[in-house]
Structure 1
Amino acid sequence: MARLNLLEETRFEKVPVSVYDNAHIASLKVANRIANLIKRKQDRGEMAVLGLATGATPVQVYEELVRRHKEDGLSFQNVITFNLDEYYPMNPESRQSYVTFMKENLFDHIDIKKENIHIPDGTLEKEEIADFCIAYENQIEALGGLDLQILGIGRTGHIGFNEPGSAPNSGTRLVTLDDLTRRDASRDFGGKENVPTKAITMGIGTIFKAKEIILMAWNRKKASIIKKAVEGEISGEVPATYLQLSENTEFVLDQDAAAELTRFNTPWLVKDCSWDDELIRKAVIWLSEEVNKPILKLTDEDYNTHGMAQLATEKGPAYNININVFNQLQHTITGWPGGKPNADDSQRPERAEPAQKRSLIFSPHPDDDVISMGGTFIRLVDQGHDVHVAYQTSGNTAVWDTDVLRYVEFAIDFNKSIGEDSSKLEKIYDEMRNFLKTKQPNQLDLPEIRDVKGFIRKTEAIAGARYAGLQDDNIHFMALPFYETGKTVKNPPTDEDVRITMDLLKKVKPHQVFAAGDFADPHGTHLVCFNIVVEALKRLKETEDWIKDTWLWLYRGAWHEFETHEVQMAVPLSPQEVQRKRDAIFQHQSQKDRPVFPGDDEREFWQRAEDRNRETAKAYHKLGLANYEAMEAFVKWQF
């Protein structure tokens, strides 16, 4: 019976899928399969032929294989590897090369023979590539094919660098990279303009010949493309869908990457559910959007014909369910994000008391506060709360080099205008110009350049917070150490990051903490900063009495937005408040027009914020609630 139930739950899935709680557990499972394969081959005196991938996805797999080599004696003497791809052109010594990646993450730490390592050559002359690709295929075939191929998946649906339009029988070849693929790689290269336009990749046909194929995907950013690859029709527009034709493929996912699969996203379509308030709210909102009706107009027939008959039978009639969900949504809306004084707060998202709260807004980058919750920020100040803002990082990697020269030129001219000696500053300026003339993509800036970039972001943050109404004493710059590497790749957070955060929390003793919950941030800074805040709060909870009155609210907006069913506080904004929020964002001039790291969203940050806030308001209105100009959304987090 359990097997039949699982088949029913997964009936939309056209390829076997295993889902684990997190990427770490999933990576250990994949590493275990690789290790077992190597040992089986060793026992038989055979070579294990592995197809390997690069990028963030397999890193933890390689870490575990290295650990097993060092601690458990796993030998790679009988292993032959073929990497999926390499940028073209690409110097193997470059920081961005996959040769460097594989050495740093695996090969330099195990006992594999150098002659058994095969990676496409990014230094070939163009006329040499075709012969190289044929030889690459022949080497794999001569060894009896790949025993196991591990894959990641790009947001275009590419496997290897087989972009949309690739043929299912394609072999190793030179390809042109999709613009989205290059945008996703832009941070590693110091800008999209530095990302190669081409790559050498194993073909889909080559991958198909592997005896086993494991495609791995982690985090919510991959959820949409995973749904298409697993449940969608086979199409050259999503090359990963060709894996549905293979009998030897398994998708290994964490919960976030699997989130949009039918069995997780709309489980009522594939099984009987255990209905709690959260799932009911999600299902009813989904139904309302599916049939394009306000919640209060949904009928029993709508429920029965859209896979929700069980809900109507157990919790119905439909109108009672509708009223309940409508009221829940209505109660999330508040014009008093700090709580309404002297009011019944039993149906409000925030407490009425104390009437004047201490609110601490954590901003991962120096502009996330106003981009993501600028309207609420201003509203809290206007309503008399003691608001503080804490900028967790300097954001000094996200400033154009030309801005540095412009600001230093201003400083030199200002010094001269007041009769100050500017010779030392002019010398530093000359050193900066000379450095920037020959600066390579992602090269570490001079300390003075990093300082100026940090100063630019700091003054903009102060201007934005002042515009929101804060006094300077309530503006805090944390400069968390994990970030201050000067590189796009940051250090792991440490106890020092947590200690700095705890010290600020103890100083302010906030009733409300706002933190970025926008984990779609492509740089990962938001998630790191969030984890630091939560760890600090958890530690303080053990020793500080005041923290029992502290609530943690998460905001989004710079990169993503909460789903309507997730929202626990929705703060409506008038047209005038939308304009005030925009003006606060405009104080961040270095991020205006064209930020250094825009991600895959071409809109400016103020446009993203306004569009998302308006979309939230429209979503509420379509469900039958009041029609506001815009809304900022928040979710309460238990720590």
Structure 2
Amino acid sequence: METHTRSKAITHQPAGQFEETRFEKIHNVIFEDSRQGSQLVAQEIADLIRQRAASGQKCVLGLATGSSPIKVYEELVRMHREEGLSFKNVATFNLDEYHPMERNNIQSYHYFMHQHLFDHVDIDPLNVNVPDGMVPLEEVKEYCRSYEGKIEEAGGLDFQLLGIGRTGHIGFNEPGSHLNSATRDITLDHITRVDAAPAFKGLDNVPRKAITMGIGTIRKAKRIVLLAWGQNKSEVVKETIEGEISSEVPATYLQEHGNTTFVLDKEAAAQLTRIDTPWLVRTCDWNEDLTHKAVVWLSTKKDKPVLQLTDKDYNESGMSDLLSSEQSSYDINIKTFNRLQHTITGWPGGKPNAGDTNRPERAKPARKRVIIFSPHPDDDVISMGGTFDRLVAQGHEVHIAYQTSGNIAVADHEAIKVAEVANSMDQDGLFSQVIRDIQEKTSEDYDSELVRKVKGNIRRAESLGATRFLGIPDSQVHFLDLPFYETGTIKKNPLGEADVEIMNNIIKEIKPHQIYAAGDLADPHGTHRVCLEALFESLKDLREKPFMTDCWVWLYRGAWHEWDIHEIEMAVPMSPEQVLRKRKAIFYHQTQKDGVMFQGEDLREFWVRAEDRNKDTAKKYQQLGLASYAAMEAFVRYHF
């Protein structure tokens, strides 16, 4: 590989022919998951380090923080330990740092970089450069000039690693940043602060300012690789790769850099035109799923029910090749309508004594054993409370398995309130200690083990209130407390064997005919993703068990997103009365109402989000020409 050219390991992935990528203005490659992409990026960095070392030169890296590059750093550390990759010839310059921010603060990027990379490799500490978050305000401008000077003295950046924020920021270059901006202090966008809020245990604790390399500084790098993972990044990725260059989306400035590659997982790439609507850029191989997706898209685009679409509508929208002498628009419309119709069922556990050819679930056995896996102690009712209610009412044996305690989402004032009530009735001093632990905790401290236990028990009590309301015996409610979560911090441990073994045990115990699980990979703090991976690993372990041949897995979405209509394989209608019952079940989770810790940018309460999402799904079905319902919950089947 030539220095500063794109890595063969990355570019061998087909990006498509010119016609297929004509909307795209930045080279990009798409991987099945972030691990595969991260490993190949790490390999490119390692090759560059070795090549520079072989010629007696220093390798100058620009580094990013946040969740996106973590797996890259893990792989570099592995290569250092197992393959002898040396960092002795490496100098690094980090993109940014909060201001003010002390180096030893667990939220600082200085702390992050040492935790994930510097403390585990043989880099010379004198070659490590992270912006100083404690520079006095009156000295910031001069400090930033000196940071620029250090980069120039080092010979400029050989390689710049980037992530991307939902505002389109790279580094902390927020909307409005100038093309030629240099290292400087900047005021953070509200959305950026909202995204950081979980790590800081609340928006109010997130700094409002930062020091960042400028766009001009970044663009001087000889090679740039930007990482983007997950559904939350898909919109800004499309806007950056396909949109016009604009200061409102600073990452679009990279369109003018001649050696930039975006490395994406399939979720982050999902809205690119060649992925989302390929019929707009090329002739398609029309299978059933792609046809279904395209017709639903066309119906929405034309604002017509599916059965009213015409040949003209297809021809005007790049779908003329879907029509043939053997298949008219009428035939395609009927097939699409029927497929949508067959996803709708009021019997999520299957309808007894009924033909199930055109139903999403089997009729037999009439009474099914069901496990609803809930990553946090409220996801079950927020995401599928109506379906949960139906399953119980229709006589199925429903088990709820809460995968984590959810203790970090309980605010301190809620824990103090409970402790004060308990303390007024218990004189042994235990709850006085809880109150002291909370009151003496600083912004940098973690909750004590005792406080975590109290917060976890609060959420258990709330969960039991909701499950009792929906008619579940306490014996069918399971609190798994998966170990990966129980760190007491926002940062969780990797999924481990102990987590999977707990999942294995409950599945083996219940031998379910149905499993429901959260398929929401856009969860802001990642717990849903790890909980889903735990289930997938468990299914791999248990797939040969005889009882698993009769087990179906249905995935629901969480509070942030819903499945696209063309993806939905089971849609469960809800009456107005069921909408109210679901709302009441959510209300039992009192600590997660009224200004919760992990609100996200959407200021609506979770119950409002859930209702609006369910009503929107029903409205979309109606607009496609299907029956009108008050609300609908949606599921996709996972085939293991």
Greater CA drift, 84-93 or 247-256:
247-256
Paired residue for 1:546?
Answer: 547
- What aligned pairs does 1:369-380 form with structure 2 within 5 A after superposition? 369-380=380-391
Letter in 2 for 1:549: D
Paired residue for 2:485?
Answer: 483
Judged with a 3 Å threshold, the aligned counterparts in structure 2 of structure 1 residues 314 and 176 are, in CA distance, closer, same or farther, namely farther
Deviations 1:319-345 (A, max 9, x none): 100100000000000011111111111
Paired with 1:3 and 1:38, the residues of 2 have a C-alpha distance of: 26
Paired residue for 1:602?
Answer: 603
Letter in 1 for 2:522: A
> C-alpha displacement at 1:541, in angstroms?
2.3
Greater CA drift, 624-633 or 30-39:
30-39
Q: Tell me if 1:592 matches 2:596.
A: no
Paired residue for 1:366?
Answer: 377
Paired with 1:328 and 1:72, the residues of 2 have a C-alpha distance of: 53
Paired residue for 2:558?
Answer: 557
Judged with a 3 Å threshold, the aligned counterparts in structure 2 of structure 1 residues 573 and 125 are, in CA distance, closer, same or farther, namely same
Deviations 1:575-612 (A, max 9, x none): 11101110111111111112221123211110110011
Paired with 1:236 and 1:496, the residues of 2 have a C-alpha distance of: 48
Deviations 1:562-586 (A, max 9, x none): 0000000000001111011101111
Judged with a 3 Å threshold, the aligned counterparts in structure 2 of structure 1 residues 533 and 5 are, in CA distance, closer, same or farther, namely closer
Q: Tell me if 1:613 matches 2:624.
A: no
Paired residue for 2:9?
Answer: none
Q: Tell me if 1:112 matches 2:113.
A: no
Paired residue for 2:535?
Answer: 533
Q: Say if 2:514 and 2:551, in contact at 8 Å, map to a contact too.
A: yes
Paired with 1:146 and 1:290, the residues of 2 have a C-alpha distance of: 45
Paired with 1:44 and 1:546, the residues of 2 have a C-alpha distance of: 61
Deviations 1:93-127 (A, max 9, x none): 11111111111111112222111111111111101
Paired with 2:422 and 2:309, the residues of 1 have a C-alpha distance of: 64
Q: Say if 1:557 and 1:608, in contact at 8 Å, map to a contact too.
A: no
Greater CA drift, 480-489 or 226-235:
480-489
Q: Give secondary structure in 2 for the equivalent of 1:80.
A: strand
Letter in 2 for 1:536: S
Q: Say if 1:188 and 1:442, in contact at 8 Å, map to a contact too.
A: no
Paired residue for 2:193?
Answer: 182
Q: Say if 2:423 and 2:432, in contact at 8 Å, map to a contact too.
A: no
Judged with a 3 Å threshold, the aligned counterparts in structure 2 of structure 1 residues 508 and 242 are, in CA distance, closer, same or farther, namely same
> C-alpha displacement at 1:183, in angstroms?
1.1
- What aligned pairs does 1:275-290 form with structure 2 within 5 A after superposition? 275-290=286-301
TM-score, reference length from structure 2: 0.96
Paired with 2:478 and 2:52, the residues of 1 have a C-alpha distance of: 58
Judged with a 3 Å threshold, the aligned counterparts in structure 2 of structure 1 residues 209 and 345 are, in CA distance, closer, same or farther, namely same
> C-alpha displacement at 1:409, in angstroms?
1.9
Greater CA drift, 158-167 or 354-363:
354-363
Q: Tell me if 1:81 matches 2:92.
A: yes
Paired residue for 1:67?
Answer: 78
Letter in 1 for 2:180: N
The answer for unaligned runs of 5 or more in structure 1 is 416-421
Q: Tell me if 1:291 matches 2:302.
A: yes
Paired residue for 2:206?
Answer: 195
Letter in 1 for 2:490: T
- What aligned pairs does 1:117-516 form with structure 2 within 5 A after superposition? 117-313=128-324, 316-413=327-424, 415=425, 422-424=426-428, 427-441=429-443, 443-516=445-518
Q: Give secondary structure in 2 for the equivalent of 1:388.
A: strand
Greater CA drift, 327-336 or 504-513:
504-513
> C-alpha displacement at 1:174, in angstroms?
0.3
Deviations 1:132-183 (A, max 9, x none): 1111112222333211111110111000000011111111000000111111
> C-alpha displacement at 1:315, in angstroms?
6.4
Work out which of the residue numbers 28, 34, 38 in structure 1 matches 2:45.
34
> C-alpha displacement at 1:232, in angstroms?
0.8
Greater than 3 Å deviation, 4+ residue runs: 2-5
Paired with 2:413 and 2:557, the residues of 1 have a C-alpha distance of: 30
Q: Say if 1:442 and 1:488, in contact at 8 Å, map to a contact too.
A: no
* Identical amino acids, percent of aligned pairs: 56
Q: Give secondary structure in 2 for the equivalent of 1:82.
A: strand
Q: Give secondary structure in 1 for the equivalent of 2:246.
A: coil
Q: Say if 2:437 and 2:451, in contact at 8 Å, map to a contact too.
A: no
Q: Say if 2:392 and 2:472, in contact at 8 Å, map to a contact too.
A: yes
Deviations 1:604-626 (A, max 9, x none): 11011001101100110111111
Judged with a 3 Å threshold, the aligned counterparts in structure 2 of structure 1 residues 4 and 260 are, in CA distance, closer, same or farther, namely closer
Q: How many residues align?
A: 628
> C-alpha displacement at 1:314, in angstroms?
7.6
Q: Say if 2:15 and 2:29, in contact at 8 Å, map to a contact too.
A: no
Paired with 1:287 and 1:66, the residues of 2 have a C-alpha distance of: 48
> C-alpha displacement at 1:380, in angstroms?
1.0
Judged with a 3 Å threshold, the aligned counterparts in structure 2 of structure 1 residues 578 and 123 are, in CA distance, closer, same or farther, namely same
Paired with 2:50 and 2:183, the residues of 1 have a C-alpha distance of: 29
Greater CA drift, 185-194 or 292-301:
185-194
Q: Say if 1:18 and 1:250, in contact at 8 Å, map to a contact too.
A: yes
> C-alpha displacement at 1:434, in angstroms?
2.8
Deviations 1:482-511 (A, max 9, x none): 222222222222222222222222222211
> C-alpha displacement at 1:443, in angstroms?
2.3
Q: Say if 1:38 and 1:79, in contact at 8 Å, map to a contact too.
A: yes
Paired with 2:171 and 2:233, the residues of 1 have a C-alpha distance of: 15
Q: Say if 1:442 and 1:487, in contact at 8 Å, map to a contact too.
A: no
Letter in 1 for 2:243: G
The answer for unaligned runs of 5 or more in structure 2 is 1-12
Q: Say if 2:569 and 2:635, in contact at 8 Å, map to a contact too.
A: yes
Letter in 2 for 1:423: Q
> C-alpha displacement at 1:354, in angstroms?
1.3
Paired residue for 2:625?
Answer: 624
Q: Give secondary structure in 2 for the equivalent of 1:174.
A: strand
Deviations 1:466-490 (A, max 9, x none): 1111122221222222222222222
